[in-house]
Amino acid sequence: MCRKKMTKKSFIYPFTTLMTAAIAWMMVSCSSIHEDLPECDLQVAFKYDYNMLSADAFHTQVERVELYVFDENGIFLFSRSEEGDALKTGNFRMTLNLDLGKYMLMAWAGAGVSDSYSLTSFVPGSSKLTDIKLQLKRDASCIIDRKIGDLWYGEIMEVTHTGAGQTATINLIRDTNNIRFVFQGATPDWQIDADAYTYQLVESNGYLDYDNSLLDDDRLSYEPYYIKQGNESLVTVEINTLRLMANMETRFTVTHKTTGIKVFDINLIDFLAMTEMERYKWEAQEYFDRQYEFVIVFYFNGSPGETGPWVYTMLDVNDWTWYIQHE
């Protein structure tokens, strides 16, 4: 009996069936494939261009990043961290070996570099995305007079992992701000002794939720980590703080130590927003999230005295100058 010749059409059918089954098997679970294969890896990149230059500064500023991975329902799976030189290459990627499917990602950057913050502890399979909390460490006095570590929040990202060398990029927002206050006499008779006063920035912004919003917190007193007496008419102080909010009052006060009288008392937000109104088209909150370094110079007339108030006639914020007329 002659054997039936296999035609081209009859050959394609079993081959196609076999390939379809193989592809389906690969898509079910990457855990069944050696983890070194790129098809099973999700690459996660980090970008920090939410700044005044709109230029990515992740590789020049961030020293540590911690990534949290959740399933599509927000249940915690695991975390990964990296720090040091690996982040400085300009093309850093964090590699995750994951089954194909849907996930949620979020990150904190900088939180683990210093001893400035406490983070929620997580239990895999139990903790939820909404459980994430970060708090600035403080003692019972609620005075923060040290330089706190730089901090960035990584926005929550939903990702469908399909394999094939996929990369997800998490955008960072900086949450720490450095503010330099300069008190300058505009006339020779305005003189100041730096040690005769206390300088305080009062705000309730030391407790952050999973979405980077502020939770109810103590009234924190941020005080200078740096004070310098220039000449008899010049004093510079530097204070750092966490996220500034356009809809919240942030008081900056100068108090005479002996008399206890406040000689200077302003809502800092009003002054910082002046540069946003002058230069940029952003809303105030976007400006505060992008700008993280402020230099504010007050020029005073008359004699400061112990009872105040100090009267300033000119104001310079990040090199923009306003002349003030007091009624």
Structure tokens at 21: 């089954």
Q: What is the pLDDT of residue 279?
A: 65
DSSP annotation of 75: B
Give the H/E segment covering residue 25: helix 8-28
DSSP annotation string for 229-241: E-STTEEEEEEEE
Which structural domains are found in the chain, ordered by start? 35-174 (2.60.40.2100), 178-323 (2.60.40.2090)
Spatial separation of the C-alpha atoms in residues 102 and 74, rounded to whole Å: 10
pTM: 0.85
Give the H/E segment covering residue 256: strand 251-256
Distant-in-sequence, close-in-space partners of 126: CB < 8 Å, separation ≥ 6: 75, 76
Taking the chain, what is the end-to-end CA distance rounded to the nearest angstrom? 116
Length of the chain: 327
DSSP annotation of 249: -
- What is the β-pairing status of strands 167-174 and 41-47? parallel
Name the nearest CA neighbour of 228 among 184, 177, 272: 184
Spatial separation of the C-alpha atoms in residues 252 and 176, rounded to whole Å: 17
Q: What is the residue-level pLDDT of the chain in tens, covering all 327 positions?
A: 333 333 444 444 444 444 444 444 444 455 443 344 455 799 999 999 999 999 999 999 999 999 999 999 999 999 999 999 999 999 999 999 999 999 999 999 998 777 899 999 999 999 999 999 999 999 999 999 999 999 999 999 999 999 878 999 999 999 999 999 999 998 888 889 999 999 999 999 999 999 999 999 999 999 999 999 999 999 999 999 999 999 999 999 999 999 999 999 999 998 888 776 556 778 889 999 999 999 999 999 877 666 668 888 888 888 888 877 655
Spatial separation of the C-alpha atoms in residues 15 and 174, rounded to whole Å: 54
Q: What is the pLDDT of residue 150?
A: 96
Q: What is the pLDDT of residue 302?
A: 74
